Structure 1
Amino acid sequence: MLDDTDRRILRQFQAAPDLPGAELAERAGVTPSTLARRLAAMREKGVLRGTRGVIHWPAIGYELEVSLRVTLDKTVSSAFDEFIAAARQVPEVIEIQTFLGSIDVRLAVIARDLSHYQQLYRGQILTLPHISDIEALMHVALVKSDETVPL
């Protein structure tokens, strides 16, 4: 379980993951050695899964994001596994989520423009196995995107 010191460290780390260790330690109210030890322990326990760069897709030419709601043919016992394995091979599929209910899978797909999306959709998405129904939702605006955890 996390104690108050761990929570302070995580709050500061979430707010500014690129800070140098000494400054992060100061903001969290611990010594640099304590910070290093606590972060290592949280990584070992799986609390911290890593640090990543976040790329602004439009800055590199991806102007379009589409959410695809997919219903699979559930008469095939391997439908989920085969669909997910194939969807993972499409580089423009940036997220795959599974659900219980009438929608089985949601894919987040990025494309350079509508023409590129149309090529992806026809050439790669519709060829994924075991699709019985698919609905596309075009993203208009990102209102909130926050992966921080309230600590």
Structure 2
Amino acid sequence: MNAISLDATDCRILAVLQNEGRISNLDLAERISLSPSACLRRLRLLEEQGVVEHYRACLNREILGFEMEAFVQVSMRNDQENWHEQFAGALRDWPEVVGAYVVTGETHYLLRVLAHNLKHYSDFVLNKLYKAPGVMDIRSNIVLQTLKVEAGVPVDLLSQKAGKSLAV
């Protein structure tokens, strides 16, 4: 890992960008009290260093018809050769899986799955997930209510380290 140094101004830039990715450079510079050229120079450096990876829009899943969200724990049979690679390859082709993590604990994977409704979710589990090579057990946790979603990084915690080297 390369170490970079972020100061308080960099942290303010990141905090604003994380909440308002479409903000113009002029508005961003004004918000953080920098000249537009200095702000753009800092932003380009943050992009070049890989701190800012990309920009995206947050879509409202319910308005788009994805009424169901589930966190799914998947346990695998370890006796099958290349079970991890096969499963990782299969889940990349499933659009319903919007997040996939290798985890510690009793299961191997935690998946975040979006579906239009219960029938769509059931079809996904029965026709894709259970048929994946090596899948031994599936445990679904259906989301009843979302209390907090933060897709970004807690930039406030970075400001505590401002001026110190951060690994990237």
TM-score category of the 2 structures, normalised to the smaller one: over 0.9
Instruction: After superposition, give the CA deviation of every residue in 1:62-84 in whole Å (9 maximum; x if it has no partner).
Output: 10011110111122352111101
> Which residue number in structure 1 is paired with residue 165 of structure 2?
none
Aligned with 2:25 (options 15, 21, 24): 21
* Percent of aligned pairs with the same amino acid: 28
Instruction: After superposition, give the CA deviation of every residue in 1:14-71 in whole Å (9 maximum; x if it has no partner).
Output: 2322221101111011111111111111111111111111111111111001111011
> Which residue number in structure 1 is paired with residue 144 of structure 2?
140
> Which residue number in structure 2 is paired with residue 101 of structure 1?
105
TM alignment of 1:12-91, pairs within 5 A: 12-91=16-95
CA distance in 2, matches of 1:71, 1:34: 51
CA distance in 1, matches of 2:38, 2:6: 14
CA distance in 2, matches of 1:91, 1:15: 26
Corresponding letter in the other structure for 1:139: V
User: In angstroms, what is the RMSD of aligned CA positions?
Assistant: 1.3
CA distance in 1, matches of 2:19, 2:115: 30
Normalised by the size of structure 2, how large is the TM-score? 0.84
Corresponding letter in the other structure for 1:85: G
Alignment check: 8 A CA contact 2:129 2:135 kept: no
**What is the number of residues matched between the two proteins?**
151
Corresponding letter in the other structure for 2:48: E
Deviation at 1:148, TM superposition (A): 3.9
Stretches of structure 2 that go unaligned for 5 or more consecutive residues are 160-168
CA distance in 2, matches of 1:136, 1:116: 14
CA distance in 2, matches of 1:15, 1:50: 13
Corresponding letter in the other structure for 2:7: D
Deviation at 1:135, TM superposition (A): 0.4
> Which residue number in structure 2 is paired with residue 119 of structure 1?
123
For the residue of structure 2 that corresponds to 1:60, the secondary structure is coil
For the residue of structure 1 that corresponds to 2:88, the secondary structure is helix
Greater relative contact order (Cα 8 A, min sep 6): structure 1 or 2?
A: 2
